[in-house]
Structure 1
Amino acid sequence: MMKRINEISSQIDEPDIEAMKKAGKRLDSLTKPPGSLGKLEDIVQKLAGITGNIKPAVKNRTHLLMAADHGVADEGVSAVPSEVTEFMVYNFLEGGAAINVLCRQAETELKVFDLGINNDIEHEDIIDRKIKYGTDNIVNGPAMSRSEAISSIETGIEAACKCAESGADIISTGEMGIANTTPSSAIAAVMTSRSVEDVVGRGSGIDQKTFEKKKEIVKKAIKVNDPDPQNSIEVLADLGGLEIGGMTGVILGSAASSLPVLLDGFICGVAALLACNINSGVKDYLIPSHKSVEPGHVKIYQEMGLEPMLDLDMRLGEGTGAVLNINQIEAACRMIDEMATFAEAGMDLD
């Protein structure tokens, strides 16, 4: 059952260290003090390692948004009902959401996938890859079967691979699924060995009473399912969401295609944890865009040894932070390509 995932995992190469060194050498030769562009320099060296090109470009950009519903929403852990997932997906498809605005601004193609929305989406632009109509309630047992978890990952893999075949230079990913910070918190607690209190946040803006209830729901889900933290498929099947599995696949497929993948917030970070647990080499392909206000997000970054570019107090999801960060990625690429070296500027520093 894991054949496709194992095949893709085996295709993930180590970064091109020589290209990274050459990029670093060129950066140090540009008309600026060494290291003065900070994280922009780090990013462009990482991109050089991923692509093998010391002057990488991100002209062709695609954002893959995975959507699905969650049975645990029945426990009242969100500020809004699960019907909002469907509503927002139609909003994406009609171009009226925050992610649409940011994709237009960043000249990024948006693709919206239905992996498990409670109702069928009738729109010509939806990419229908529905595996089931929402997950099962994780306080009663597994969210999905092992085969469904694998299917969700494979869906993301194929989406990323198709983007690579179409000439994408960079992929970003995001999600939509009411109540999905609850399964994400459960996964984060299991995968990082942190307490539930350390990782659970207020999601869509729940009040204190609901917040306390949410923590108890997460604890119960972990106790009922008791997944093995070393087994990403088991953790995803027991606690996860179909859109989380989809993003896990996007990350794996991007890495196997030698494409950088821009991470969004907390839920996307959970998918990255799962992907890195399948193949630790995935980390070399991850670009963390921003730090969410969800407390579990910083714990995930600490677990993976990553540091985000931005901290804007965002917690929307959809991939908004990731797409917003594309402008900084482009700036980094243009710096190494367009800036003059001291020699080119006619200045001899020796």
Structure 2
Amino acid sequence: MLPDLTNMDTLRDLLRSAPGIGVDARAAATERNAQLTKPPGALGRLEDLAIWYAGWRGEARPCIATPHVIVFAGNHGVTAQGVSAFPPAVTEQMVANFQHGGAAINQLAQAAGARMDVHALDLDRPTGDFTEKAAMSDAECLDALRRGWSAVDLSADLLVVGEMGIGNTTSAAALCHALFGGNAADWTGRGTGVDEAGLSIKTQVVARAVGLHGGAGDGLSLLARLGGREVAAMAGAIAAARVLRIPVILDGFICCAAAACLQNVAAGALDHAVAGHQSAEGAHGALLQRLGKDPILSLGLRLGEGSGAALAINILKSAVACHSGMATFAEAGVAAGN
């Protein structure tokens, strides 16, 4: 069972005291991996992924049976500054597309055998324009965090969170700039495909926002001032999975920006997470380096929705299937190497 998030400090305390990887299960999985019918290290990173997954699930021979994909959607007041190539109405239109099964993430979730849920977060009430005021009050941010927190299926054995929200690459860039420093241009990309003039406007918006809110406090405080409801909900879901010891596959730039807010609060907050892919959004590679995550895939994706992470589910499934299903040398009657 998950405890209730009564306030931001509750979440901070839970992140700092969350249980770690199962050391005994990880050791048993490592021992099993050494006995499988293959040369040592022959399956490369698949071996590391399977051992990591086994440790978090507390089983030496785990199985991925109930992956859960959640897409959160929210609208951003900062779109009034001209930071996106698409109007805010597209957010609601895409939510309808998700609900009718017509988006890329629907196909990828189905291909991975994952349950998919969609949560639209007050689309008729955009966040504040964070060049002028905080995107959300602490109470509004807590509400979005709680909605993500409670959206995770307690029976899930793997979690992917994605997003839809016109303007949210601007929010993610501002969060990264505030968390990691550098220049606004280091973190600001083309998002939905803005032209040079649009990119210049977007970069200026990120710089102004961080100039106004950058000293607000830790990652959760910055999330309220520079985030969006869907960004906060992703953070809430990732945090819930950490408490429940459900492994997470992170998606692209926006998802990783949400995750970075958690890591800023507690150094081990993302130990249960791997990076599904490196997206084509320019700053995603730098963000992954800051998070200490090596991407599983790099296919030039920049869609969001959880698409890259959902695609990586089958890679992780394959890693776990090999680990748990292969015979050992003794079982197969094969002579082991020296």
Q: What's the TM-score, normalizing by structure 2?
A: 0.94
1:42 CA displacement: 1.3
Asked if 1:246 corresponds to 2:233, the answer is yes
* Structure 1 residues 182-206: Cα deviation after superposition (integer angstroms, max 9, x where no partner): 0100001111223212111110111
* Structure 1 residues 148-169: Cα deviation after superposition (integer angstroms, max 9, x where no partner): 1111112111112xx01xx211
* Structure 1 residues 72-92: Cα deviation after superposition (integer angstroms, max 9, x where no partner): 111111111110000000000
Q: State whether residues 173 and 264 of structure 1, in contact with CA within 8 Å, keep that contact through their aligned partners in structure 2.
A: yes
Which stretch shifts more, 50-59 or 189-198? Answer: 189-198
Of 172, 186, 196 in structure 1, the residue corresponding to residue 160 of structure 2 is: 172
Supply the AA of the counterpart residue of 1:226. Answer: G
Whole-Å separation in 1 of the counterparts to 2:182 and 2:248: 26
Whole-Å separation in 1 of the counterparts to 2:12 and 2:174: 25
1:191 corresponding residue in structure 2: 179
Cα RMSD (Å) of the superposition?
1.4
2:100 corresponding residue in structure 1: 94
1:134 corresponding residue in structure 2: 126
Percent sequence identity is: 37
Q: What's the TM-score, normalizing by structure 1?
A: 0.91
Whole-Å separation in 1 of the counterparts to 2:261 and 2:213: 17
1:276 corresponding residue in structure 2: 263
Asked if 1:74 corresponds to 2:77, the answer is no
Q: State whether residues 73 and 120 of structure 2, in contact with CA within 8 Å, keep that contact through their aligned partners in structure 1.
A: yes
1:282 CA displacement: 2.0
Partner secondary structure for residue 172 of structure 2: helix
Partner secondary structure for residue 343 of structure 1: helix
2:26 corresponding residue in structure 1: 20
Whole-Å separation in 1 of the counterparts to 2:16 and 2:310: 28
Q: State whether residues 149 and 236 of structure 2, in contact with CA within 8 Å, keep that contact through their aligned partners in structure 1.
A: yes
1:129 corresponding residue in structure 2: none
1:123 corresponding residue in structure 2: none
Whole-Å separation in 2 of the counterparts to 1:156 and 1:97: 21
Which stretch shifts more, 42-51 or 88-97? Answer: 42-51
Whole-Å separation in 2 of the counterparts to 1:35 and 1:258: 26
1:36 CA displacement: 1.8
1:313 CA displacement: 0.3
1:219 CA displacement: 0.4
The size of the alignment, in residue pairs, is 331
**1:41-60 equivalences in 2 (<5 Å):** 41-60=47-66
Q: State whether residues 74 and 230 of structure 2, in contact with CA within 8 Å, keep that contact through their aligned partners in structure 1.
A: yes
* Structure 1 residues 19-44: Cα deviation after superposition (integer angstroms, max 9, x where no partner): 21221221122121211212211111
1:153 corresponding residue in structure 2: 145
Gaps of 5+ in 1: 119-132
Q: State whether residues 37 and 334 of structure 2, in contact with CA within 8 Å, keep that contact through their aligned partners in structure 1.
A: no
* Structure 1 residues 130-155: Cα deviation after superposition (integer angstroms, max 9, x where no partner): xxx11011111211111111111121
Whole-Å separation in 1 of the counterparts to 2:248 and 2:120: 20
| Superposed structure 1 runs of 4+ greater than 6 Å apart | none
**1:198-237 equivalences in 2 (<5 Å):** 198-228=186-216, 230-237=217-224
1:6 CA displacement: 4.3
Whole-Å separation in 1 of the counterparts to 2:312 and 2:290: 22
* Structure 1 residues 211-239: Cα deviation after superposition (integer angstroms, max 9, x where no partner): 111111110111122333x5122201111
Supply the AA of the counterpart residue of 2:210. Answer: I
Which stretch shifts more, 37-46 or 313-322? Answer: 37-46
Gaps of 5+ in 2: 1-6
Whole-Å separation in 2 of the counterparts to 1:240 and 1:12: 24
Q: State whether residues 4 and 154 of structure 1, in contact with CA within 8 Å, keep that contact through their aligned partners in structure 2.
A: no
Of 313, 321, 326 in structure 2, the residue corresponding to residue 339 of structure 1 is: 326
Partner secondary structure for residue 227 of structure 1: coil
1:182 corresponding residue in structure 2: 170
Which stretch shifts more, 99-108 or 259-268? Answer: 99-108
Supply the AA of the counterpart residue of 1:70. Answer: H
1:315 CA displacement: 0.4
